[in-house]
C-alpha cells in the first residue's frame, strides 16, 4: 500500500499557499497513491477550507483521502457564539460531503491497514527545559508581546490539559476498536506526538511556544500498541522522518509561503508531498 502525507496547507495565509493546491493534486495523481493523509491546517475560515477539500474531491483522485483538522481549522471565528466543538462537527460534515473520511469521527480501514486519528492538543508536557514558567503562565499563551493565536480563536469548553486528555482517550478508543481487524495501524494527528520531533532553540519566546506543539500522551498511545507502526502529523512546519522506538514519525508540511518558492510550484508541491509504502 502506498500512502501520501501532506499537512499545513494554510491556503488562506498567502497567495502562494492557495496557488500550490492544484500542483499538490497533480503530485498526488503522479504518485499513484492508495491513501492520501491530510494532517490538518487547511484554512481558518470554512469557505476556504471547503474550497480546498472540494478541489481534492473534484480532482477525482483514485486514492482514498483521510483528514484530521488542525488548530487553525477549528478556530471559531465565523460568528461570536460558535465553539471549536461545533466547528469540528461542521468540518466532519464538509469532509463527508466531499468523499473524504473524517478520521476524528471513526477509524478507517484499507485492506489490512487501519488508520486512527485525532487533532490532538497540548498539555504543556513539551514545555522546554531550563525555564521556570508555571502551567498558569503557559495557559496565558502570551510572552514578550507575542501571542499564540489559539488564545484568541480556539474555543474549547475546557482547559488545554483536559482537552488533550480527551483527544488522547479518543485515539486510544479508536485503536482498541480496530485492533483485531488489522495487521498494522497508522496513527494520524495534527499535533506532535513526540518530544524528539520538536526543535528547541534555547531562546525566548520561541522555546516558550513549543509547549503548544502537542502532548506526550499522543506518543504514549502510539508506543503502547504494538500494531502502530507509523505516526503521521503536522503543526511543526518542519519536515521530519525519524524512527522513535517502534514507530516511524513523519511530518510533511507546506507551511507559510510568504515568498514564492525558489523552484517551480509543481516541483515544490512534489517535494512537500511525502510518500511511503507499507
Confidence band (pLDDT; 50, 70, 90) for 78? confident
Rounded to the nearest integer, the mean pLDDT of the chain is 97
Percent of the chain that is helix, strand, coil (3-state, to 5)? 35, 20, 40
Confidence band (pLDDT; 50, 70, 90) for 79? confident
pLDDT in tens, 16-30: 999 999 999 999 999
DSSP string, 90-151: HHHHHHHHTT-EETTTS-EEETTEEEEEE-----STTPPTT----HHHHHHTEETTEE-THH
pLDDT of residue 195: 98
Cell of 21: 493546491
Average pLDDT on 181-187 reads: 98
- Indicate if the pLDDT at residue 192 is higher than 90: yes
Residues 6 or more apart whose CB falls under 8 angstroms from that of 165 comprise 123, 217
Q: Range of 52's domain?
A: 2-277
Helical axes 15-31 vs 46-58, angle rounded to 10°: 30
- Indicate if the pLDDT at residue 80 is higher than 90: no
Cell of 42: 487547511
Number of structural domains (the chain) is 1
What pTM did the predictor assign? 0.97
pLDDT in tens, 34-66: 999 999 999 999 999 999 999 999 999 999 999
pLDDT of residue 8: 98
Rounded Cα gap, residues 258 and 17, in angstroms? 8
- 2-6 and 274-277 beta bridge pairing: antiparallel
- Indicate if the pLDDT at residue 255 is higher than 80: yes
pLDDT of residue 81: 86
For residue 176, which of 229, 244, 230, 107 has the smallest C-alpha distance? 107
- Indicate if the pLDDT at residue 111 is higher than 80: yes
- Indicate if the pLDDT at residue 250 is higher than 90: yes
| Kind and range of the H or E run holding 251 | strand 247-251
Rounded Cα gap, residues 77 and 54, in angstroms? 21
Whose cell is 466532519? That residue is 92
Task: Read off the CATH number of the domain in which 32 is found.
Answer: 3.60.21.10
- Indicate if the pLDDT at residue 68 is higher than 80: yes
- Indicate if the pLDDT at residue 124 is higher than 90: yes
pLDDT of residue 84: 97
Amino acid at each position: 500500500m502506498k500512502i501520501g502525507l501532506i499537512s499545513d496547507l494554510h491556503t488562506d495565509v498567502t497567495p502562494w499557499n492557495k496557488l500550490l493546491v492544484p500542483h499538490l493534486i497533480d503530485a498526488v495523481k503522479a504518485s499513484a497513491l492508495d491513501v492520501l493523509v491530510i494532517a490538518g491546517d487547511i484554512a481558518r475560515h470554512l469557505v476556504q477550507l471547503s474550497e480546498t477539500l472540494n478541489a481534492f474531491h473534484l480532482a477525482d483522485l483514485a486514492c482514498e483521502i483521510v483528514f484530521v483538522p488542525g488548530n487553525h481549522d477549528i478556530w471559531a471565528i465565523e460568528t461570536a457564539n460558535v465553539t471549536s466543538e461545533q466547528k469540528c462537527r461542521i468540518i466532519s460534515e464538509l469532509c463527508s460531503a466531499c468523499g473524504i473520511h473524517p478520521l476524528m469521527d471513526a477509524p478507517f480501514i484499507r485492506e489490512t491497514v487501519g488508520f486512527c486519528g485525532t487533532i490532538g492538543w497540548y498539555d504543556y508536557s513539551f514545555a522546554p527545559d531550563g525555564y521556570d514558567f508555571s502551567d498558569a503562565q503557559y495557559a496565558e499563551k502570551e510572552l514578550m508581546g507575542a501571542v499564540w493565536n489559539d488564545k484568541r480563536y480556539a474555543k474549547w469548553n475546557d482547559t488545554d490539559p483536559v482537552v488533550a486528555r480527551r483527544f488522547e482517550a479518543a485515539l486510544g478508543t479508536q485503536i482498541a476498536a480496530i485492533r483485531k481487524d488489522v495487521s498494522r495501524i497508522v496513527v494520524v494527528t495534527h499535533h506532535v506526538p513526540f518530544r524528539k520531533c520538536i526543535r528547541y532553540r534555547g531562546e525566548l519566546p520561541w522555546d516558550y511556544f513549543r509547549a503548544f506543539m502537542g502532548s506526550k500522551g499522543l506518543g504514549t498511545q502510539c508506543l503502547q500498541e504494538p500494531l502502530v507502526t507509523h505516526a503521521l502529523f503536522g503543526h511543526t512546519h518542519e519536515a521530519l522522518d525519524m524512527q522513535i522506538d517502534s514507530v516511524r514519525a513523519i511530518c510533511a508540511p507546506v507551511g507559510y509561503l510568504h515568498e514564492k518558492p525558489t523552484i517551480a510550484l509543481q516541483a515544490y508541491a512534489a517535494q512537500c508531498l511525502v510518500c511511503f509504502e507499507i
